[in-house]
Structure 1
Amino acid sequence: MTNEAVLPPVVDPRLDFEAAWREWHRRHEEVRADPHGFLAVTGLHWLTSVPQRFPDVPGEWHTGDNGPVVAIGEGELLVVDGRQGRGRHEFGPIAERAGVTVGLDAGVLEVARRGGHDILRPRRPDHPLRVGYRGTSSYPPDHRWVVSGRFVPFDSPRPTTVGAAVEGLTHVYDAPGQIEFAVDGVPLRLTAFNGVAPGSLSVLFTDATSGVTTYPANRSLAVAAPDERGRVTLDFNRATNLPCAYTDFATCPLPPAENRLPIAVEAGEKTPYERLSADSAARS
């Protein structure tokens, strides 16, 4: 036996940082490529008061004051509430940014409301966009882009209207406040929306890399809830693409005008290969 103390192994904090980022991105990619995720969306259909059929969705659909309604024909398959639907089914009013999922042959159907309109989005795991997905390239994680900031709440949440990936569509979000921070001594500010977790925040932004190495329309950053002093951390290494970066069947919001950063945020996800390929094809 020895009386020498056993020292813990020395861990390179950079390796921990990079490993944590790789694990986060792996999980994010896993969710993105879910069999019924947005890469599986095969269409975007807008419901009106006039009953209509769509080529990739069973039934005849319309909408009104009581929400979406479908008339399911003989031999058509639509699974609603775990049971095969028959005849007429009323979904009831659907709240903005909410939706319900019903079953389709070899897939599911999202019945949702976006920008004041009821929509249908079929999702099938064999959609070529999902089957051919090869991951999203990103900037290497860099401590430089883990930035301290301060959340400055508004006196009351401000309804904020933003554009959308779909021309003519708008979204309205309640903005609880702004995040103030600095990069290389340049003072910056971003309007924040409410995040998924209680108290957390979500930021939509563009920067000088947008349309160069990153998707032109938007990127998104989740921010943990501010501490008791309003302090937050902006880890731009975890800036992600929204669904509209991959598919034209998305209704993603665009950043508020004030969230166009004048600096190049060389961190986070880059323009997807799929969008680069589509843009190249359109120019040829």
Structure 2
Amino acid sequence: MGRHGKWAGLVLGVLLVGCGGQPEDRGTADTPVEAAPADPAFVADNEAWRAERRERLLQPDGWASLIGLHWIELPAHYVGSGPTSGIRLAKGPERMGLLQRQGGKVYLTPESDAALTVDGAPAKGRFELVPDVTGTPTVVGFDDGKGQLVLVDRGGRKALRVRHAEAETLTGLAPLDYWPADPAWRVQARFVPHPAGKTIPIMDILSQQQPQPNPGVVEFERGGASYRLEALEGEDGGLFLVFADRTSGHESYAAGRYLYTPAPAADGTVEVDFNRAYNPPCVFTDYATCPLPPPENRLDLAVTAGEKKYVRPVPTT
């Protein structure tokens, strides 16, 4: 079991207690809501979304391609796949180069025969690694473009995140499992904005906590009961929801799921389609730093929609 697998076992009890039950006792189920008839267009749209999601995971730079997350602990490290490297890569050149921290920045001096690229161009001498928090991280390519390396910054701690097109988690990606698409889980909710600039503390799977912009709360009803989810900033004015529910640790991933919504309408209405709830990257790899649901987003509700628990294939080596 990987480090995240062990962590998931510990977090399971915490999340389910927060949802109102113990791992061995799911408590009283929410009031059943009869499934709405699914028209062919709705089903086809969900199938297309699921196919697109799998295609994204199968990309050479998708989450399933991660092969390492190496924290930079010393002022200098040699990087490579060889046994003498201080940061030893699972795949790549035996000697990639010398990594150095100076003045809060990180630099890499490549070996002459490492054949690295920097943002698509051949590497020529020492260069700075710009971290991912800038939005435009430096991308170091190796193994004829099959491998990628970027610098990540998590609360001031820096690490090398490494991807490879031949990662076993990518080449051996198992089928994704879903509940049947159900229009009844496409909820018309209400967005209640918070004062401008409000943030919410979000813990990640490495137990690091950072404040995240918290534009407002999403309120919806299900089976005659009301529920609320604190929202993070999404894409194109939309919202990003990180939540756990009564399926967490049972039919779905113990550490919760993610869901994007479109931008709320002028009257505050927003569609929350739980059929599009999906697993965080930590389901597929031990090298992601996934945000976890805040306590406010542990629903006392079984969300039987969206993506179910993923079972990783047994490694071949």
Change (3 A) 1:124 1:185: same
Residues 216-237 of structure 1: CA deviation (Å, up to 9, x unaligned): 1120010110111000111000
Change (3 A) 1:13 1:98: same
Secondary structure of 2:50's aligned partner: helix
CA RMSD in angstroms, aligned pairs only: 2.0
Residues 93-136 of structure 1: CA deviation (Å, up to 9, x unaligned): 65367633221113211222233322211111111111111221
Mapped to 2, the partners of 1:92 and 1:124 lie a distance apart of 20
Q: Does 1:95 align with 2:133?
A: yes
Aligned to 2:211: 172
Match of 1:124, as an amino acid? H
Mapped to 2, the partners of 1:39 and 1:138 lie a distance apart of 18
Mapped to 2, the partners of 1:98 and 1:265 lie a distance apart of 36
Could you tell me how far 1:66 is from its partner in structure 2?
4.2
Match of 1:55, as an amino acid? R
Q: Which of 240, 243, 249 lines up with 1:202 in the alignment?
A: 240
Residues 50-82 of structure 1: CA deviation (Å, up to 9, x unaligned): 211322262222334442211222322321133
Percent sequence identity over aligned pairs: 34
Aligned to 2:266: 228
Higher CA-based Rg: 1
Secondary structure of 1:44's aligned partner: strand
Aligned to 1:9: none
Q: Does 1:183 align with 2:208?
A: no
Q: Which of 139, 144, 147 lines up with 1:107 in the alignment?
A: 147
Q: Does 1:132 align with 2:157?
A: no
Asked whether the 8 Å contact 1:100–1:112 carries over to 2, the reply is: no
Where structure 2 has 5 or more consecutive residues not aligned to the other structure, the ranges are 1-36, 79-86
Count how many residue pairs are aligned between Structure 1 and Structure 2.
264
Larger mean Cα displacement after TM superposition, 42-51 or 83-92: 83-92
Q: Which has the higher strand share?
A: 1
Asked whether the 8 Å contact 1:176–1:193 carries over to 2, the reply is: yes
Mapped to 2, the partners of 1:250 and 1:93 lie a distance apart of 15
Aligned to 2:41: 16
Mapped to 2, the partners of 1:187 and 1:232 lie a distance apart of 15
Asked whether the 8 Å contact 1:96–1:113 carries over to 2, the reply is: no
Aligned to 1:192: 231
Mapped to 1, the partners of 2:238 and 2:188 lie a distance apart of 15
Tell me the TM-score normalized by structure 2. Answer: 0.78
Q: Does 1:272 align with 2:310?
A: yes
Change (3 A) 1:207 1:92: closer
- Give the 4+ runs in structure 1 shifted more than 6 A: none
Mapped to 2, the partners of 1:163 and 1:137 lie a distance apart of 27
Asked whether the 8 Å contact 1:39–1:246 carries over to 2, the reply is: yes
Asked whether the 8 Å contact 2:131–2:137 carries over to 1, the reply is: no
Aligned to 2:199: 159
Tell me the TM-score normalized by structure 1. Answer: 0.86
Q: Does 1:260 align with 2:285?
A: no
Higher relative contact order (CA 8 A, sep 6+): 2
